[in-house]
Structure 1
């Protein structure tokens, strides 16, 4: 379910029908991050006896990959255009 949600979100961001093979690593990395957070979904940070953990906000999961996503959406537009004849 985690992977399906991440893929759906990435497909939405890319405005494509599926996740390109070269970007599947983004799905895996975010899935691992979300899986490790199970049971702590509502917490921003946690500290126990000197050991502290700070979590990313879920809405910022794709932020580290935004430049790659932007490049991929621009790649789709290269060489494509619209021709109109009158």
Structure 2
């Protein structure tokens, strides 16, 4: 289900149209912990270094978007996300 509220940038929230609905994404502590586990990172610094390397795969983007969506209060599985279109493509997901 899509989030109806507007993104609060002070809390680090962003908006994206995913699956035809405007949704809020947020990298909460829980979302960051989910990403550490998904990528086998030992620390946030390791996670940041992986992202800074700029060699992300499509599966990596799904993990990041999924964690951000769940951090923003959206109930969406990675399997559901795999079938959703992102408005604006990769650039739209990164905006």
Structure with a larger share of its residues in helix: 1
Larger radius of gyration: 1
Whether the TM-score (by the shorter chain) exceeds 0.5 is: no
Normalised TM-score (structure 1)? 0.29
Instruction: Compare relative contact order (CA 8 Å, sep 6+) and give the higher one, 1 or 2.
Output: 2
